[in-house]
Chains A and B, each alone.
Chain A
Amino acid sequence: MEIKVCGPGCPSCEQAQKIVEAAVAATGVKATITKVTDFQEIAKLGIFSTPAVVVDGGVKCVGRVPKQAEIEGWIR
């Protein structure tokens, strides 16, 4: 599974990254987590507010830090 965390690197993006990592660890799902910080790349995904989380190409949340339970729901 491939998870992308999109954001230019502000505190809320860092927080999103941490929560995603925690969710992956909690569920034991095998996933690679990549950080996308380049605006151009983020925009190409159709994302115009950050942070955003993308799971296997599907945009799951935009413009907010998701809750861990939500992420576990997306990746399980």
Chain B
Amino acid sequence: MEPIQPSGCGCTKPDNGHAAGTTQNMSPGKAAFFGLIGFALWYVVYKQLEPFSHFFAYSLLGLERESHFGEAIQFFIYDTPKVMMLLTLVVFVIGMLRSFFTQERTRKYLAGKRETAGNVMAALLGIVTPFCSCSAVPLFLGFVQAGVPLGVTFSFLIAAPMVNEIALILLYGLLGWKIAALYLGTGLLIAILAGWVIGRFKLEHWIEDWVQELRAAEAVVIEEKPSWADRIERGREAVRDIVGKVWIYVVAGIAVGALIHGYVPETLMASIMGKDAWWSVPAAVVVGIPMYSNAAGIVPVVEALLGKGAALGTVLAFMMSVIALSLPEMVILRKVLKPKLIAVFIAVVGTGILFTGFLFNMVI
């Protein structure tokens, strides 16, 4: 999800190629064929990145292998194209996938689900359904109208911003698959559990009254059948849009990472955000709520904090608090939820994040 800008929201410009049959038609077989060739090429280039970075730093520039500067340069030359390539691939695939998961379809699907199973499905769908913070309210209204249980709706609303594909890929690229997997797993778990808990509280009467009346309303559904060419176009648009917007953060983040990698002693943050400072987890959550950054902006910060000796649980809690609980989103949701329900939402999700922070500080 993109951040809400003061002037409205920062949704990526959506789906210009949405109209069915606008581009030349391509059979699924042909599309798959070109896709495979494209992926093979991608993979070949990807595999050359590490040897190339060594060649560049140590042979071409003639830097010392063990030197700070040499290591920093090699890291930067390796990581920048690596992360950019991963980002492009993932954004493209997700962009294409999203043409299968429209909001209408998600809504219809979840309307027939019971709680618990519904919470799990909603959290998973929250990752792939196209969504941005300014459409949070219409989406919420649509869910209520379709009769999706409140707790299930919340699972979706929590997972959609919390588990972000760009954050996931950056974490993988910069910090390795274990931390990426932890982020994905705990993010989903919090969304599922928090939604389930909110469902248990039976707080439907804390939705604004005018929203309740919508249950009688009829949703307009315009079914569109995009062709394969349309889906591919959708993926390309996502790449143009998202990669075009976040590359600068990525490069800056890797540059910071490279400096840390080469120079910074690993104990700087240990006293403030280390394992021993128990209060640092709640502090990180509280500091994170009013902050709002997009995922691309926060990951380099995470990397920097970890690099300087901050504890993983504390950093993870900080990151989740920044992207999942944001003040601008609360202001928007206030239009459809009574303040009490917003308070419960913040409390439940905040508790989940706190718990995650403590758990990882304890276990790792």
- The residues of A with any CB-CB pair to B shorter than 8 Å are 8-15, 39-40, 42-50, 59-67, 70
B37 at the interface (CB under 8 A from A): no
Instruction: Assess the A65–B145 pair: CB atoms within 8 A.
Output: no
Instruction: Assess the B13–A65 pair: CB atoms within 8 A.
Output: yes
- CB contact list, B125-153 vs A, under 8 A: 130, 132, 134-135, 137-139, 141-142, 145
Given A15-B13, A65-B15, also A10-B217 (CB < 8 A): no
8 Å CB contact of A64 from B15, B211, B217:
B15
Instruction: Assess the A49–B139 pair: CB atoms within 8 A.
Output: yes
Given A59-B220, A59-B222, A67-B22, also A48-B13 (CB < 8 A): no
- On chain B, the residues within 8 Å of A62 by CB distance are 104, 220-222
Q: How far is the CA of A45 from the CA of B214 in the complex (A)?
A: 11
Instruction: Assess the B132–A10 pair: CB atoms within 8 A.
Output: yes
Mark the stretch among B4-12, B39-47, B272-280 that contacts chain A: B4-12
**What 0/1 readout, one digit per residue, does chain B (7-28) give for beta carbons within 8 Å of chain A?**
0111111111011001000000
Instruction: Assess the A65–B16 pair: CB atoms within 8 A.
Output: yes
Instruction: Assess the A48–B107 pair: CB atoms within 8 A.
Output: yes
- On chain A, the residues within 8 Å of B248 by CB distance are none
- Contacts A10-B132, A39-B336 known; 5 new A-B pairs at CB < 8 A: A10-B9, A11-B10, A43-B214, A49-B142, A63-B15
Instruction: Assess the B14–A42 pair: CB atoms within 8 A.
Output: no
Instruction: Assess the B217–A46 pair: CB atoms within 8 A.
Output: yes
Closest to B211 in A: A43
- The residues of B with any CB-CB pair to A shorter than 8 Å are 8-16, 18-19, 22, 102-104, 107, 130, 132, 134-135, 137-139, 141-142, 145, 210-211, 214, 217-222, 332, 335-336
Instruction: Assess the A12–B14 pair: CB atoms within 8 A.
Output: yes
User: What are 9 contact pairs spanning A and B, CB under 8 A?
Assistant: A10-B132, A12-B13, A12-B14, A43-B217, A59-B222, A62-B221, A63-B104, A65-B15, A66-B19
Instruction: Assess the B14–A65 pair: CB atoms within 8 A.
Output: yes
Q: How far is the CA of A46 from the CA of B219 in the complex (A)?
A: 4
Q: How far is the CA of A67 from the CA of B233 in the complex (A)?
A: 14
Q: How far is the CA of A44 from the CA of B218 in the complex (A)?
A: 9
Q: How far is the CA of A67 from the CA of B14 in the complex (A)?
A: 11
Closest to B214 in A: A43
Closest to B145 in A: A48
8 Å CB contact of A63 from B16, B103, B218:
B103
B229 to chain A, nearest CB (A): 15
8 Å CB contact of B142 from A12, A13, A48, A65:
A48
Instruction: Assess the B9–A44 pair: CB atoms within 8 A.
Output: no
Q: How far is the CA of A40 from the CA of B15 in the complex (A)?
A: 25
Instruction: Assess the A9–B8 pair: CB atoms within 8 A.
Output: yes
A72 to chain B, nearest CB (A): 12
Q: How far is the CA of A75 from the CA of B340 in the complex (A)?
A: 45
B226 to chain A, nearest CB (A): 11
Given A40-B210, A48-B103, A48-B141, also A70-B335 (CB < 8 A): no
- On chain B, the residues within 8 Å of A8 by CB distance are 8-9, 134, 137-138, 332
